Structure 1
Amino acid sequence: MTFSIAELFTAHNPNKFDLYEQYLNNQMVRVLKTIGYDRHYKRAVGQYLYDQDGSEYLDLLSGFGVFALGRNHPTIAHALKEVLSLELPNLVQLDVSVLSGLLAQELLKTTPDNINKVFFCNSGTEAVEAAIKFARFTTKREKIVFCEHGYHGLTMGALSLNGEEIFREGFGPLIPGCSPVPFNDIAALEKALSNKDVAAFVVEPIQGKGVNLPDDNYLPEVEKLCKKYGTLFVADEVQTGLGRTGKFWAIDHWGIKPDMICMAKALSGGHVPVGAVAMTQKIMDTVYNRMDRAVVHGSTFAKNNLAMAAGLATLHVLKEENLIETSAAMGNEIIASINAMSEKYEFLMEARGKGMMIAIEFQSPKSLKLKAAWAMLEAANKGLFCQMVTIPLFKEHRILTQVAGHGMNVVKLLPPLMLNQKDRDHIVNSFDKVISETHQIPGSIWDLGKNLASHALKGKSK
């Protein structure tokens, strides 16, 4: 009897929600069914998803940024098939791998000139964990400083640097010595570093939760303060890296040189998990300072051939298809087009971002009728207005988006980097129609709003 994934997928895709509910996280199934996202996707190509009826959906979520090259890119698929067909030695462990050396070499061509070593792992949260350990060992200090509202992962070390309380609640005590400062606040950071007892400052160049951009002088001043007080500067580029913001690294917008860069997500090509920390020679040589410490920190599957091949193919595609330039140009067009609507829509505050990392923020309006409707949603659950936007975008316009974070009135776009003009027009026109509908009271979209508020209030009462 042959084993066939195709047969398994075809036979069981119709009952995938039953399987998930019974054997995995049933609350996730409840969420999807409640908001009407319970689709049965059968195929995915580039920036598009296709359901069982053949309907096309524009994916502006891209697996939280994993599919920067789109889904099922042929170059990535070919590289992985080639690895499997070659019967290469893999994870020998008492050996070093060719592909990991090549991927490190290629990555270091993209980093600032002070960065010249790479540590591989499997995910963004593992990269942050490694950065914490390396910083503590290198500086012989315990404290780590991070930013409020930041996101760095969900394992215990990374969670200790997570600026969103909803992720931390109930999982303590977390690792000691970790404390937050406000994002974009140089004075607060200097106060936190001034005792010269902080091992590292870990920050997203652009915060993923909310797509919060720093002032132009913030990150250059961060670099100066870290050098002044002997603190390592760690840039978490897990989401912002590899072309997402219209530059290879988000730090390139400000010309700064951190001591470590954490990366993952897009480096995988969307197929095989891979993460990494790029760092200075001094950090690497301090941590791995003797032969008996050659394996003092590692990860069993980190340098597997499939992951390394996916990374190499990803870097090739980014360059060959000019995706970073496309990200910058198309992102600017989308942001400008949505901002052009702000004068006619009271609810629309602004669109902001860099490249294909875009936030669309909404606000309390001035008109009494609209203001009362807004207040009704906010009283039920802060940020509920955005659900009233994302749901019709999905159901009526087949655009998959996300709310940017808990309690935020921000819709976040994190598309594949290769969006075309047709996609751009579809995005802008769809937002125009949905935002227009939110200004019509009464209306069907506000019937949805009332239902969302009712569900939220019921949830609070339990």
Structure 2
Amino acid sequence: MSFSIAELFNQHFEEKFDLHEHYLNNQMVRVLRTIGYDRNYKKAIGQYLYDDNNNEYLDLLSGFGVFAIGRNHPTVISALQETLTLELPNLVQMDVSLLSGLLAKEILKTAPDNLEKMFFCNSGTEAVEAAIKFARYTTKRPRIVYCEHGYHGLTMGSLSLNGEEIFREGFGPLLPHCSAVPFNDLEALENALSTKDVAAFIVEPIQGKGVNLPSDNYLPEVERLCKKYGTLFVADEIQTGIGRTGKFWAIDHWNVKPDMILMAKALSGGFVPVGGVAMTSKIMDTVFNRMDRAVVHGSTFSKNNMAMAAGLASLHVIHEEKLVENSAKVGEDIIGTINAMSGKYEFLKEARGKGSMIAIEFQSPKSLGLKAAWAMLEAANKGLFCQMITIPLFKEHRILSQVAGHGMNVVKLLPPLNLTSKDRDWIVDSFDKTIADTHNVTGSIWTLGKNLASHALKNKK
């Protein structure tokens, strides 16, 4: 009997949520049904999703940044199909892989010239785990310093560097010798590094949770301080890298040279899990310093041919379609246009970001009626106002977005890098109408707000 994924998909299409309720995380199903995100998507092309009624949705999450080139890009599909039919030797293990060598070469062309070696893994959190190990071994120091409100992954080592308590709660004890400093605070960082027992400072150039931007001198001073105290400077570009911020690497905005760059998400076009660490030769040669240490760190599937082929094809698409440049141009336009609305909307504080990493932040208004409505939501659950933005954006305007982090009044956009002028207008017009609706406290959007507050208060009990 033949086996067909297409037949399985069509046969069980309506069972998606039931299967997850029975066999997977049923709380996720409850969340989706509660906020009205329980759609049955049937197709995805580029920046668009299509449900079973063929409604088109603009995806501004892109799988948390994975689909930087859009979903199901034909160039990457072709590369993967070709790789499957070539009958290549794969994961021989007692060998080295040609495709991983080629991908390493292409990635390092984009990186600062002090980075000359690559290590491949399967995900962003694995890249962070590798950085922790490599830094400790290279420096012979125990401590790792990270930033408050930072996010570096959810495996145990990465979680130990996670600046959000909601992810850490109940999973301890975590790794020892890990400590946090405020983001964008050079005095606190120097105080931490001055003990000269810090192996690495691991930092997102732009923080993903909230899209927090550094001051212009922050990362250059981070580089200087790390060199001064013998600490490795590790840039976590898992979300910010590969064109996301309008430069290939976010560090390029500040012309700094870290000792390691961590990457994943966009690297394979969303088809095959892949992550990596670009590093100096000194780090690589220190960790893998003898033949008997050639396998002291690795991952079984890390350099598999499918992942490497997907990475090569994705880099080709980003270059050929000028997606980094498009990210910078369209992102700047969206940020500027939404900021221009702040004069007419009390709730709107600002839009900020770089390239296609955008935050839209909301604030307590001045007028009494609006202020009371805001206070009602904040009392029920901090950051609840943003659900009044994201839910109507989805239900009424078919835009998929997210709240930027727990307890934040920030909506985050992390779209594919290939947005068009049509998409730009779709985004701006939808935000304009939705924010306008929030200023009418007798309108239907505040009925939604009261329902959200009621649910939040019940959950607290």
Aligned to 2:36: 36
Aligned to 2:57: 57
Aligned to 2:250: 250
Post-superposition shift, 1:372?
0.3
Q: Determine the C-alpha separation between the residues in 2 that align with 1:171 and 1:184.
A: 28
Q: Deviations over 1:228-250 (max 9, x none)?
A: 00000000000000000000000
- Letter in structure 2 aligned against 1:422: K
Matched, 1:315 2:289: no
Counterparts of 1:348-427 in structure 2, within 5 Å, are 348-427=348-427
Matched, 1:86 2:86: yes
Q: Determine the C-alpha separation between the residues in 1 that align with 2:251 and 2:13.
A: 42
- Letter in structure 1 aligned against 2:120: F
Q: Determine the C-alpha separation between the residues in 1 that align with 2:158 and 2:13.
A: 34
Post-superposition shift, 1:226?
0.1
Q: Determine the C-alpha separation between the residues in 1 that align with 2:305 and 2:458.
A: 49
Matched, 1:444 2:444: yes
Post-superposition shift, 1:268?
1.5
Aligned to 2:96: 96
Aligned to 1:225: 225
Q: Determine the C-alpha separation between the residues in 1 that align with 2:182 and 2:84.
A: 47
Aligned to 2:181: 181
Q: Determine the C-alpha separation between the residues in 1 that align with 2:104 and 2:80.
A: 18
Identity of aligned residues (%): 81
Q: Deviations over 1:308-335 (max 9, x none)?
A: 0000001100100000000000000000
Q: Determine the C-alpha separation between the residues in 2 that align with 1:231 and 1:203.
A: 13
Q: Determine the C-alpha separation between the residues in 2 that align with 1:270 and 1:200.
A: 29
Aligned to 1:285: 285
Post-superposition shift, 1:195?
1.0
Q: Determine the C-alpha separation between the residues in 1 that align with 2:27 and 2:122.
A: 26
Q: Determine the C-alpha separation between the residues in 2 that align with 1:47 and 1:204.
A: 25
Q: Determine the C-alpha separation between the residues in 2 that align with 1:397 and 1:11.
A: 30
Matched, 1:328 2:328: yes
Q: Determine the C-alpha separation between the residues in 2 that align with 1:332 and 1:313.
A: 27
Post-superposition shift, 1:77?
0.3
Aligned to 1:112: 112
Q: Determine the C-alpha separation between the residues in 1 that align with 2:208 and 2:313.
A: 25
Q: Deviations over 1:40-72 (max 9, x none)?
A: 000000000000000000000000000000000
**Matched length:** 461
Corresponding residue SS for 1:346:
coil
Matched, 1:152 2:152: yes
Q: Determine the C-alpha separation between the residues in 2 that align with 1:141 and 1:434.
A: 51
Aligned to 1:262: 262
Q: Determine the C-alpha separation between the residues in 2 that align with 1:195 and 1:342.
A: 45
Aligned to 1:142: 142
- Letter in structure 2 aligned against 1:113: D
Matched, 1:76 2:76: yes
Aligned to 1:193: 193
Q: Determine the C-alpha separation between the residues in 2 that align with 1:151 and 1:406.
A: 12
Corresponding residue SS for 1:337:
helix
Aligned to 2:46: 46
Q: Deviations over 1:79-134 (max 9, x none)?
A: 00000000100000000000000000000000001000000000000000000000
Q: Which runs of 5 or more structure 2 residues have no equivalent in the other structure?
A: none
Counterparts of 1:16-31 in structure 2, within 5 Å, are 16-31=16-31
Corresponding residue SS for 1:109:
helix
Post-superposition shift, 1:272?
0.2
Q: Determine the C-alpha separation between the residues in 2 that align with 1:341 and 1:98.
A: 52
Q: Determine the C-alpha separation between the residues in 2 that align with 1:235 and 1:402.
A: 24
Aligned to 1:163: 163
Q: Determine the C-alpha separation between the residues in 1 that align with 2:11 and 2:207.
A: 41
Corresponding residue SS for 2:31:
helix
TM-score, normalised with respect to structure 1:
1.00
Corresponding residue SS for 1:408:
coil
Post-superposition shift, 1:11?
1.1
Corresponding residue SS for 2:75:
helix
Q: Deviations over 1:410-445 (max 9, x none)?
A: 000000000000000010000000000000011100
Q: Deviations over 1:371-390 (max 9, x none)?
A: 00000000000000000100
- Letter in structure 2 aligned against 1:9: F
Aligned to 1:209: 209
Aligned-residue CA RMSD in angstroms? 0.3
- Letter in structure 1 aligned against 2:351: A
**Displaced runs of 4+ in structure 1, greater than 2 A?**
none
Q: Determine the C-alpha separation between the residues in 2 that align with 1:12 and 1:364.
A: 46
Q: Determine the C-alpha separation between the residues in 2 that align with 1:143 and 1:108.
A: 28
Q: Determine the C-alpha separation between the residues in 2 that align with 1:158 and 1:390.
A: 29
Counterparts of 1:4-23 in structure 2, within 5 Å, are 4-23=4-23
